[in-house]
Amino acid sequence: MSQHTPYAASADRYGKMQYNRCGRSGVRIPAVTLGLWQNFGSQTPFDTIREIAHYAFDAGICHFDLANNYGPVPGAAEENFGKLMQTSFRPYRDELFISTKAGYLMWPGPYGEWGSRKYLFSSLDQSLKRMKLDYVDLFYSHRYDPDTPLEETLQALVDMVRQGKALYVGISRYPHDAAVFAYQYLRENKTPCLLFQDRYNIIDRMPEKEDLVQLSARNGAGFISFSPLQQGLLTDRYLNGIPEGSRMSRSGSSLSRNVLTPAMLEALRGLDALARQRGQSLAQMALSWLLAKPEVTSVLIGASSVAQLKDNLGALANTAFSEQEKAAIEQTAAPIIITGRD
């Protein structure tokens, strides 16, 4: 697209996507959400960022997930999203559901991370400026802070909504008992938790084991699964080596080469074969497996290219599993399943 041609979203963008209600709220979000943790920072050309973001919105992905620290460098993903707002998405603001978070390190000193009111409010104000927004649709406490009274963190979320800086609130990676407390506190303060965000996929079953998936449903919140592809492991990316430029190939990557053990490769190849029997890619089967669960509101994917995004969207075409298929997945994945917290 020439820089001078204004972006016009595809006219049939809502016909291709499925929208799921977040718990007992009034809000529906797309079954596939695009996350900007990696691939949208200062190391990615803006043309690539724009191409992926436009493709997503044209395909009905109206929910974009950010955080203050997404980059690299921290803040860069929000800045690039702000550039997208200015150059293409502004006319569609009311059609967009934009989330951000605070919890991890953003700036030095005692107020640059965790869960104090001081940090959360400063961070949200910075995020709004970077993203060129008046408000976010959803603000998350990005991680539980064991040293701050939970009431302080949660009251900050409630007040953000009262001040119109966020429409809804959510929590991410909270341990079970803190989540129980948070659901109740937020409900009592008339700002019910919209979404619980955690990593959940064929390999990582921690949220199932710790009752977090079921807990969100019992509390009327939705559940959004981040890293549903286990950062690319649950795709064909690493079945035959570590490709140049892949997440695992990068230095200081969040995806260590050490995970690619012979047992992991054998299980991934087995899962790939099961996916093919279903007429799906491994990535598609991994996403379908999550979307088949009634508690899962959306799968929160990452993508470094339009081709990946396109592949992943294909998951929506087949989210039904026979008992036999489910059992075969369990059996094949058994040696690589994780149930503990990292």
Binding-site ranges for ligand NAP (CB under 6 A): 35-39, 65, 142, 172-173, 197, 226-232, 235, 237, 246-247, 283, 300-304, 308, 311-312
User: Which residue, among 19, 11, 14, 10, has the nearest Cα to 298 in the 3D structure?
Assistant: 19
What minimum distance in Å lies between the beta carbon of 249 and ligand NAP?
A: 8
Give Cβ neighbours of residue 155 (< 8 Å, ≥ 6 apart): 117, 189
**Secondary structure (3-state) at 182:** helix
Q: How many helices (DSSP H) and strands (DSSP E) are in the chain?
A: 11, 10
130 vs 164, beta carbon nearer ligand NAP: 130
Nearest to 53 by CA among 36, 68, 70: 36
Q: How far is the CB of 73 from ligand NAP (least distance, A)?
A: 16
Angstrom distance (rounded) from CA 297 to CA 292? 10
* SS3 readout for 88-116: HHHHHHHHCEEEEEECCCCCCCCCCCCCC
Of 65 and 295, the one with the shorter C-beta distance to ligand NAP is 65
Choice between 4 and 52, CB closer to ligand NAP: 52
Q: Which is nearer to ligand NAP, 312 or 332 (CB)?
A: 312
Nearer to ligand NAP, 192 or 232 (CB): 232
* Minimal distance, residue 8 CB to ligand NAP, in Å: 26
**Smallest distance from ligand NAP to CB 35, Å:** 2
What is the smallest separation between the CB atom of 212 and ligand NAP, expressed in angstroms?
A: 13
Please count the CA atoms within 13 angstroms of the CA of 64 that sit on its side-chain side.
29
Q: Which is nearer to ligand NAP, 154 or 303 (CB)?
A: 303
* Residue 86 Cβ vs ligand NAP, minimum distance, rounded to whole Å: 21
